[in-house]
Structure 1
Amino acid sequence: MGSLLGDYPKLNPEFGIASEVFSREATRFYLDPEAYYESKGIEVPVLAVDQNEEKIKVADKVDPKA
């Protein structure tokens, strides 16, 4: 799941607040959101874009030899 410090409320106040407000299941997935998708059998969405890869795609559109 998360790191040892990640689920210790005094060192991670956001986790402490989440554990007070949300259900135990939601709190469990707070530190490992990918595990939620895996537990439901859903493909994990890609949330970050590789900037270098995007630049290559744009360069290919402008000049295929780039």
Structure 2
Amino acid sequence: MVIDTAIVGMVLTGVGYIIVNFETIMNDLPFAEQVDVWIACSALVGLLELSRRCASQCSLS
């Protein structure tokens, strides 16, 4: 439950940051800042966890 809450928090923070700073991200695209790297890492963790859960559910069926 704690891991789920942490992943939801990371993903929602990343989505919120992207929505608020869309213009800056698109104009400064070649130059990733540290916060951009953290958002990408949190999105990757969320995607990997979702994939792991889907695979474990499919193997149970």
Question: What TM-score, normalized by structure 1, do the two folds share?
Answer: 0.25
| Structure of greater Rg | 1
Name the structure where helix makes up a greater proportion of residues.
2
Q: Which has the higher contact order (CA 8 A, sep 6+)?
A: 2
